Amino acid sequence: MTPEQARQTQATVERTLREAEVNPYEMFRAQVDLAGEKLGYPADILEMVKRPERVLEVSVPVRMDDGRIEVFRGYRVQHSSVRGPCKGGIRFHPAVTIDEVKALAGWMTWKCAVVDIPLGGGKGGVVCDPTTLSEGELERLTRRYTAMILPLIGPHHDIPAPDVNTNARIMNWVMDTATALRGEPMYGIVTGKDLAVGGARGRREATGRGVVIVIEELLARLGREVAGATVAVQGFGNVGSVAAQLLHAKGAKVVGVSDISGALYDPTGLDIPSLLEHVSRSPQRLIAGYTAPGVQPLAGPEVLTLDVDVLVPAALEGQITEVNAGQIKARVIVEGANGPTTPEADLILEERGRVVAPDILANAGGVVVSYFEWVQNLQNFYWEEAETNERLAVILRRAFQSVWDNAKKHDVSLRTAAFMMGLERVVEAIRLRGVFP
């Protein structure tokens, strides 16, 4: 193991220990209870929508390059299909747990309901560290995992997508494996694919683009503009890097960014195009090793407490807790990650006048364009990227206005308003369909 790999492994262990203190499924249940209480829903209805419809745990044996067989643990959770087929990503990460996947599937249900697309929530994960796997091992892991969850997924049942440590290449393998095993083209079984195999133009940038749209809407309500605003971004993966790139292009000063390898800070604003070029050349696509005049290294967690106008947590869940919420200086927090803020931290932020655009609204751009990709796959009719971006903006701006109005109407936070709106739509679907038998 190289020193760089050792450092990353230690960072992963430390992060895992921190995350172990926050149970994401308990976070999800608490959020549903709060929204349900505001709406006056009975306990039995809330219990229905808190529990997932199906939980699958699978054993994933993989022959490694050295000939031995390693068995990985995988999950697929379908939280709700009352408004349409389940939809949600697959993540490859050493800290994946069943409670995490259940929570993420639940958040996907509310996310789809808040932006009012005809899908429900699902999520999947494999407990692994993909940075330690060769390309062949990663492909064999993906294909065997796909085979194991294939009884649950399908274009009209459950449609996976990329998530943490997965990308278009992984989705291509999922689609190809399903096609081979079912003996018919299965382009619509997964979204986030490459264009040549049924992907949608604009899908890769969709989540980060959606974060920026929500930032624009929120700052406008507060009498501010994106141009000139200072921004810190935690997590410089697909979501954080795209958000940083678009914000930089709109005139914002992105003064701090971080990933697993550390954090960078420049009070005059980082040169985001230069940083992106560095990351593209990095073997593991990390910001480590980037240098430029005025750029200072920081410890990773410090990016959360920088004195900025806008904070974008775009890493993993449970990053803003009661321990550090009181140190958050940003007036506006727009959640690019799923579940980055604990309920306890939410209360502290609200007391201190911080405005939080919740994940189920702020990072919904990915699932919206995944929905577009799914529709295009089913119709075998593909759109130009400009049309995708225009349709995305219409949906997110309308959803933001609805959440904003709901928050004012009930005098609640944007998160509670979004959960209330999503919960109302899910419960209404249950009411109209009835409970079988």
Residue 247 half-sphere exposure toward CB, CA atoms < 13 A: 38
In our burial notation (b when 16+ CB lie closer than 10 A, e otherwise), range 79-114 reads bbbbbbbbbbbbbbbbbbbbebbbbbbbbbbbbbbb
Residue ranges for the chain with pLDDT beneath 50:
1-20
What CA–CA distances, in Å, run from 46 to 23, 65, 423?
19, 48, 9
Contacting residues for 98 by C-beta, under 8 A, at least 6 apart:
55, 57, 75, 77
**pLDDT score, position 299:** 84
Per the CATH hierarchy, to which homologous superfamily does domain 206-362 belong? NAD(P)-binding Rossmann-like Domain (3.40.50.720)
Q: Which residues are catalytic?
A: 123
Confidence at residue 11, expressed as pLDDT on a 0 to 100 scale? 45
* Prediction pTM value: 0.89
Distance from C-alpha of 46 to C-alpha of 35, rounded to nearest angstrom: 10
Summarised one tens digit per residue, pLDDT across range 70-107 is 999 999 999 999 999 999 999 999 999 999 999 999 99
pLDDT at 21: 62
At a CB cut-off of 8 Å and minimum separation 6, what does 399 contact? 114, 115, 116, 361, 364
* Dist. CA 421–CA 39, nearest whole Å: 10
Q: Where in the chain is the domain with CATH 3.40.50.720?
A: 206-362
Count other Cβ atoms within 10 Å, centred on residue 10. 10
**Stretch (H or E) spanning 257:** strand 253-259
Average model confidence (pLDDT) across the chain? 93
At the topology level, CATH places domain 52-188 in Rossmann fold (3.40.50)
CATH 3.40.50.10860 range(s) for the chain read: 52-188
Rg for the chain (alpha carbons), in Å?
21
pLDDT of residue 97: 96
